[in-house]
Structure 1
């Protein structure tokens, strides 16, 4: 009598897999029992279906927060300006009006050449420098909602409103305490120093707060290929934004001009002082020679002739020095004039028509997506902790974590009031 396997499979092939289609034990395709940590798509969908209420509520809460922020956030506008650094020619540079440098070479005047070391890549640093920002915050602007024009320093340090005060001592209390601690450690701010003309050179405490506030309002970018620099200013009103951009642009151009002409101005002051001294010395030598010739119209003695020759040599030397300094003075003034226009405004700042922030639709969509992600993560975490309580090893781990996070008994006695016994 043949074996049952031989009757069912006359060719001697192994038994077919079980009814579920998976290879049974002893078959070539058998990989062992299914793993418990494997998660199928149906398991994921089942978790989402069981916690759909939690996910929907989380999305609604985050969406509500996004709508609240989008409606309460102050509107901001951005105004931009574009500038470019003028290309300075080399040794073949000329003057306005078509006068070339070679035409003045015969007079001992050399226009010089070579570009300044201040490249366009350094312009953003100059724009964000303390000198430029300090000059801007000292300018006067008309702020939205303000009764009168005021400086940016006065606007930043104005008394806070009721809502700002409430937020400062509630939601922003940690940052308020941090500021108080910082002031207590550093002490009172240093008083503003003054120059000989009375202009402050060291920012005061109020000006320092304005400098920090204005730093987040200005940004810039430089195109390395074209050298174009874009200056962007963000503020709370279209006209205020354009006014701030114009102020930054003016003080930036002034600062760049000062940096480029600083050495030339120093050389000009030195040459002017030396030229005035040489002019006085020449006048003195000429007067001495004239007085000598008036007293001795026909010198016959050797002593008088030697004295006359010495006076004439002094006059000749003073004339040569005077002529050389005059040439250097003219050359320095031409060099200063040539370095003056270094920044050209390609696009003037204008009041923007549309706001740049807040982007209400984007904020609401972003908060909805974040709420959905947070809800899904919460659903899986709840499912994990629920299943972990059913496992002995995982339950022991949870109890250990709970005991480690539970405060000591003496703290609980202070926090939880004692129960009053019933009469």
Structure 2
């Protein structure tokens, strides 16, 4: 049986709010083993909602989950649109009126007349209670082999209603006897096409499945299995994950919510070593990534944002002659920045970042996207590398890639003794 998500709200189409409800519901469908192939967003318009219902029924979807459009204002049309599509009258439910009245009273207010609209549900629909807001949803089977669930668009209200009522209801209907469990494997330093070519033989599997994703410089492989339990699903996934790790080597850095900063932090903590950073083009972005990890003060001592050359020379000890001869964006300067911050902050490791993030470059020989990274080890050995991210990427993306590549280089050295 397949489910669809239909999010109602012109504000989503205009980009005024991020549609996080679909992501949450998609993850919940997987936990219940419910197949899910389509998501839609539609404005507050009855005719367009009807057209989506037509399409959903034509493709045989048996569960339709609506979010949004359950408020008291004239443009909240979801319930009215669904009822009119199935030619079913709306009936005022006194228990909803009582609930809304109580909630207003608890806030020291009186219920306004327009809130009565939220008490209207199609005849025969079951109330889906809203413990925290005034807009209840419904669970309704208007025709055979079709269940409709509606939720308000407020994510906190929708999630509470889903867990409290919708999940038990769906489980009682037999959903959740099989589940879909997945592991999202994460890779840095390898392109999507290159990784896909290496693991191409795994893409035709049926259970577990392997699918590639790419986003913001990172490549991901989702390994997913359908089974009767999480334990069984993990048993199916484990050998595939192990094979991919063996193929990818150091390009694999973690799974699910693991970040490069977390991996680096764990390695430093295990070795009881400390880190400092010297940043030019990233302007503190590398330090910000490192300190997103709780407990990073165990190993991260601090950083120096050496944006101006005078800071590079007077604070970090960069040789002015090298700056003059090679320019601030050079491996020679990046190396001295890494050693300089390591020395001045007395840490085991130092990282230096200098580059041209754009949108313009003052040096025709050094285009936008040219970034030099350097790493200084506990024994003062220094390694550097130049990245050319391209002139077609924007300033923020180049700064982000620079910070992540700086972390990735340190991760590889900590794990492998070299970059």
Q: Rg bigger for which structure?
A: 1
Higher relative contact order (CA 8 A, sep 6+): 1
| TM-score tier after normalising by the smaller chain length | under 0.3
Higher helix share: 1
Higher strand share: 2
TM-score normalised by L of structure 1: 0.23
